[in-house]
A = this chain, B = another copy of it.
Amino acid sequence: MRIVVLAGGIGGARFLRGLKSAAPDADITVIGNTGDDIHLFGLKVCPDLDTVMYTLGGGIDEEQGWGRADESFTVKEELAAYGVGPGWFGLGDRDFATHIVRTQMISAGYPLSAVTEALCDRWQPGVRLLPMSDDRVETHVAVTLDGEKRVIHFQEYWVRLRASVDAEAVVPVGAEQAVPAPGVLEALAEADVILFPPSNPVVSVGTILAVPGIREAVAAAAAPVVGLSPIVGGAPVRGMADKVLAAVGVEATAAAVARHYGGGLLDGWLVDTADADAVAEVEAAGIACRAVPLMMTDVEATAAMARAALELAEAVR
């Protein structure tokens, strides 16, 4: 079975671990969000791709969900001693090596997809990890800070400000000019199932869908498309998805997110048992819906979510 997953960072990575456990023989292609990429200290940092790679490759800091296990911060401390920031982005020494290798390969002319494949040679994530695009896309957020309108990088909004102010607009800069990475459209066309994990529907899955051709390929795919709600009981399970949903005028409810994706894209949608009363509303939008437990508390619980998504895909096929 060929499964294609559109994944963001922590939520996507944890879901993928459950999916691999639920479908150990499946051929899984991950289309990773690169809209949260950022250039720091002259290095290209791809947080979502790395979170997927480290999580599936056994290198992740399990507790925080991003960055490397057993990490140290000597380089960052030294950069700070030179007065070079930002200090709010937590790049550890092990993580730095990844960005140094990536930046060196990109400077040598390799596209991000080839670089990602080379990095995965080490990590052996057990999936085929493709960036959504080889072109530079970096999401920015319009905010008002101290009465002044500003447009800041998504990471500054998310990591430094912790989404503490309203996102007035979310703009994936470069997305309109971006081209899907090699293999992305082919994987979608040949998929048996396409899944949207409980990743952020705006800045993760939404950014992937913003690359011209990808939304169309998902909609046109022969495979059933099934998503899992990142909103449980009217709030994001983790992260600050409600803030960026508000920016695009979408309520932070399991049903509203399903309608945001739309029946033209989604064939099936899983909501948490806490949101069982949303099932009828989602189905009224032409999307098959089931309520199952959606808390990724451990690999087994996550595998059960993945199985439920695959079952729903079979049911709507």
Question: In the bound complex, how far is the Cα of B97 from the Cα of A41, in angstroms?
Answer: 9
Could you tell me if A94 and B72 are in contact, using CB atoms closer than 8 angstroms?
no
Given A42-B107, A93-B93, A107-B42, A101 and B84 contact (CB-CB distance below 8 Å):
yes
Expressed in whole angstroms, the minimum distance between the Cβ of A179 and any Cβ of chain B is 25
A160-180 interface with B by 8 A CB criterion: none
Expressed in whole angstroms, the minimum distance between the Cβ of A191 and any Cβ of chain B is 30
Main secondary structure of the interface of A (DSSP, over half): helix
Could you tell me if B41 and A82 are in contact, using CB atoms closer than 8 angstroms?
no
Q: Does A79 contact B (CB under 8 A)?
A: yes
**A70 nearest CB neighbor, chain B only:** B74
Q: Using CB atoms and an 8 Å cutoff, list the residues of chain A in contact with chain B.
A: 41-43, 72, 74-76, 78-79, 81-84, 93-94, 96-98, 100-101, 103-104, 107, 118-119, 121-122
Expressed in whole angstroms, the minimum distance between the Cβ of A212 and any Cβ of chain B is 30
Expressed in whole angstroms, the minimum distance between the Cβ of A100 and any Cβ of chain B is 5
Could you tell me if B101 and A79 are in contact, using CB atoms closer than 8 angstroms?
yes
Question: In the bound complex, how far is the Cα of B42 from the Cα of A104, in angstroms?
Answer: 5
Given A74-B72, A75-B75, A96-B96, A122 and B42 contact (CB-CB distance below 8 Å):
no
Residues of B near A100 (CB, < 8 A) are 41-43, 75, 79
**A43 nearest CB neighbor, chain B only:** B100
Could you tell me if B78 and A93 are in contact, using CB atoms closer than 8 angstroms?
yes
Could you tell me if A122 and B72 are in contact, using CB atoms closer than 8 angstroms?
no
Could you tell me if B43 and A82 are in contact, using CB atoms closer than 8 angstroms?
no
Expressed in whole angstroms, the minimum distance between the Cβ of A122 and any Cβ of chain B is 5
Residues of B near A75 (CB, < 8 A) are 75, 93-94, 96-97, 100
Expressed in whole angstroms, the minimum distance between the Cβ of A86 and any Cβ of chain B is 13
**A68 nearest CB neighbor, chain B only:** B78
Question: In the bound complex, how far is the Cα of B96 from the Cα of A94, in angstroms?
Answer: 12
Could you tell me if B72 and A97 are in contact, using CB atoms closer than 8 angstroms?
no
Residues of B near A122 (CB, < 8 A) are 81-83
Expressed in whole angstroms, the minimum distance between the Cβ of A178 and any Cβ of chain B is 23
Expressed in whole angstroms, the minimum distance between the Cβ of A102 and any Cβ of chain B is 10
The 3 closest A-B pairs by CB, nearest first: A78-B97, A42-B104, A74-B93
Question: In the bound complex, how far is the Cα of B94 from the Cα of A107, in angstroms?
Answer: 23
Question: In the bound complex, how far is the Cα of B72 from the Cα of A43, in angstroms?
Answer: 21
